[in-house]
Amino acid sequence: MNRLLLHSTPVALALILSTLAPTAMAGALHPEVQLLDVGGQPVTRSGQAVSPMRSCGGCHDTKWIEAHSPHSSLGLGEPGGREYDAGPGSINRFDPLTYDRVSFDGEFTFGIADWLKRHGARHVGGGFATHDADGTPLTDLESAKAGAFTHALGDDGEAVVWDWQASGTAEMNCFLCHLPTPDDQARRLALAEGRFGDVATATLQGAGVAEQTASGWNYPGVAPDGTVRLPIESPSPQNCGICHGTTVTAPGDPFFFAPSADRRATLTTGSIFAPGRIPRSGMNVASRDSLARPWDVHAERLLECTDCHSSVNNPAHFAESSETRPQHLRYDARRMDIGEYLLQPSHEFARGRSAQTTARRDLDDSMRRCESCHQAEAAHDWLPYRDRHLMGLQCEACHVPEQFGTTLANIDWTILDRDGEPIRRYRGTTGDPDDPRTLVEAYRPVLLPRADASGQTRLTPHNLVTSWFWVDGSTGAPVSRKRLEHAFLTGDGFHSSMLKALDATGDGKVSASEQGLYNPHQVNVLAARLEEVGVSDPQIRGEIQPFGTHHGVATGRWATRDCRSCHGEGSRTTEEFWLADFAPGGVMPEPVGDSGVEFAGELKISECGHVVYQPDPKLAGLYLFGTSRAAWADSIGRLTVLLVLAGVFLHAGLRLILAQASRREERS
């Protein structure tokens, strides 16, 4: 008995501690890691940079993990949705937010090395950052012809051979996601300087494990054999937020975030994943004192990103995709053994279905939806026609009624500012969005029809980001950033053609009100300049990219509960959604074709000249009481009224005739 108690006490204590502090215990329980370089030697002996693939590969199948990570491949090798896209991912699909697209065929405009230096901060490494599409290591490539994997842009804007032997390659960086406080600043600096082989090691600098010297790397906190205990753990919201969006875990943190492409989810939707109340933050939100709600109720209830977006083969969270799950099977009790999972944890993360995620569509609906955790029928007894509402609306339609972060509305690449950046305009702000004093007014996402895994179409909230840019008329492809800068800028400011087109006052400057192409003359001047630098038949194109708003969830108290919000005059299902103050060059934008969202409405110029989108429930096959009108019902109603009036007049006329006849009989 005493022996049993003696052996069981440490186990019980470990279980209690893991319950009280699971994250801390996870780091403490992880064994020591031997830090190895690319040659497999301990870094303390070689003084070289750390190779995560070698260091973590002693226990985990890192090659298999990299091959099963969309974060690493970014859609490389998948077909594109537009004629000029080489794929659906952020590296090969044209994205106005980043603009740069790697040239995999045709004329060289931007290489892998260029992309890593400028946008690699949102890439975990591996994949195209270590080998080409055929699997050949980048360090072994040789090519005289300018290509995406072998060349980069030189200081003069011309293609030069990139020396991968000198720069190293950016391996999949396990430390970025699995350390609680990775040194992201040092990592970004290494990327920007083109020191790709040092990126993973730079991530360890903040932990006191590594420090860079003139001769290489020094490892003061590492044992002579290269072993070190690192606080390895499951990714936290802060890790995910490095690339995806604004995440905060401390309820009392008075945070402020300016719009940034590094916080893409916040920039494009306005969502902030934070547990604190809106009035306690540093964001100057309009009417904040009356908003006693958290930024996101799931963050408030201590949920983390991995609770929903887990590994697809995680035994604790496994949910088979609707595409492969048999229709008769609601739940599959079979699970992978934990040892097998630790060897090969898939880095294909569960996700829902969103308009903005175009790569790896086979992972759509692999995440559990709201109804997997919440029993909507029990919580919506107050709602009239409850089942009809649940059938026609996604949960977010009511539970994400507003977004409070500074949100991108449109981006204009038809002109550039002095820094070579496009003109960006935001929702709900009239001042400088980088200034904490600028008032931020919440916006209401537009409801668009979107089919779910079952084929049922439901209204889902979205933000619409509209962009305008120049394209080459002969190919339809967007004009490269290099060409735009060469055409519109000089070493000390704007090219004379830009000033001629934009400077309406003649003061030699371009004010904020002059930043735009308002008339055909301006378009012709800039088009002529683009032709001078080699663009064939330059034209302006406009696109609308929807972004689903699935975070920033409100509790029932703050969700939409007023029937008049949708049923009645001023319904949000029919209200105009502002896209831009004007259409550059008079070009009306068109929705992208690969979002999976139905634009059931009208794109038009409003009475005040703004570009707006007005949804129409009728085009989506929806009929809303108090809002919708059916022509046949109106016709029957009008006919009924006319028949009633005719009956009244007929009856009254007959009464008059009979009354007069009766009087004549009495007189006679």
Which of 549 and 665 is assigned the larger pLDDT?
Answer: 549
DSSP 317-343: T----TTTS-TT-S-------HHHHHH
Task: Report whether pLDDT(141) > 50.
Answer: yes
Say yes or no: 5 and 50 in one domain. Answer: no
Say yes or no: 143 and 7 in one domain. Answer: no
- Does the residue 365 lie in any domain? yes
CA distance 33 to 31: 6
Confidence (pLDDT) at 321: 65
Say yes or no: 6 and 60 in one domain. Answer: no
Q: Which residue, chain included where needed, has tokens 């970025």?
A: 176
- Does the residue 598 lie in any domain? no
Say yes or no: 324 and 213 in one domain. Answer: no
Task: Report whether pLDDT(86) > 60.
Answer: yes
Average pLDDT over residues 84-98: 89
Which of 455 and 265 is assigned the larger pLDDT?
Answer: 265
What does the H/E/C string look like for 205-260?
A: HHHCCCEEECCEEECCCCCCCCEECCCCCCCCHHHHHCCCCCECCCCCCCCCCCCC
Q: What is the pLDDT of residues 15-57, one digit of tens each?
A: 333 334 444 445 568 999 999 999 999 999 999 999 999 999 9
- Does the residue 318 lie in any domain? yes
Confidence (pLDDT) at 428: 85
Mean pLDDT of the chain: 89
Average pLDDT over residues 579-595: 95
- Does the residue 404 lie in any domain? no
Which of 426 and 665 is assigned the larger pLDDT?
Answer: 426
Confidence (pLDDT) at 4: 38
Say yes or no: 178 and 219 in one domain. Answer: yes
- Does the residue 358 lie in any domain? yes
Looking at 356, 373, 390, the residue that finishes a domain is: 373
Angle between helices 520-532 and 481-488 (to 10 degrees): 110
Which of 15 and 86 is assigned the larger pLDDT?
Answer: 86
What number of other Cβ atoms are within 10 A of residue 401's Cβ? 21
- Does the residue 73 lie in any domain? yes
pLDDT band of residue 11 (cuts 50, 70, 90) is very low
- Does the residue 491 lie in any domain? no
Percent of the chain with pLDDT over 70: 95
Task: Report whether pLDDT(200) > 80.
Answer: yes
- Sign, Cα dihedral of 437, 441, 446, 451: positive
Q: Amino acid identity, residue 614?
A: Q
Task: Report whether pLDDT(221) > 60.
Answer: yes
- Does the residue 505 lie in any domain? no
- Backbone phi and psi for residue 300, each to the nearest 5 degrees, phi listed first: -65, -35
CA distance 461 to 446: 5
Q: What is the pLDDT of residues 453-489, one digit of tens each?
A: 778 889 999 999 999 999 999 989 999 999 999 999 9
Print the domain residue range for 657: 632-668
Confidence (pLDDT) at 27: 55
Say yes or no: 8 and 74 in one domain. Answer: no
Number of domains in the chain: 4
Say yes or no: 13 and 53 in one domain. Answer: no
Looking at 228, 257, 277, the residue that finishes a domain is: 228
Average pLDDT over residues 403-426: 96
Confidence (pLDDT) at 28: 66
Say yes or no: 44 and 2 in one domain. Answer: no
Task: Report whether pLDDT(81) > 80.
Answer: no
Confidence (pLDDT) at 17: 37
168: CB partners within 8 A, 6+ apart: 49, 195, 196, 197, 198
Average pLDDT over residues 194-212: 95
Average pLDDT over residues 381-388: 90
Task: Report whether pLDDT(344) > 60.
Answer: yes
Average pLDDT over residues 186-210: 96
Confidence (pLDDT) at 22: 45
Say yes or no: 18 and 151 in one domain. Answer: no
Say yes or no: 85 and 32 in one domain. Answer: yes
Say yes or no: 21 and 38 in one domain. Answer: no
Average pLDDT over residues 364-379: 87
Q: What is the pLDDT of residues 599-655, one digit of tens each?
A: 999 999 999 999 999 999 888 888 777 777 777 777 888 899 999 999 999 999 988
pLDDT band of residue 323 (cuts 50, 70, 90) is low
**DSSP structural state of residue 538:** E
Average pLDDT over residues 311-326: 78
Q: What is the pLDDT of residues 548-561, one digit of tens each?
A: 999 999 999 999 99
CA distance 295 to 281: 10
Confidence (pLDDT) at 12: 38
Confidence (pLDDT) at 322: 65
Structure tokens of 216?
């290489």
* CA dist 28 → 12, 17, 25, 133, 236 (Å): 16, 11, 5, 39, 16
Confidence (pLDDT) at 2: 43
Say yes or no: 216 and 339 in one domain. Answer: no
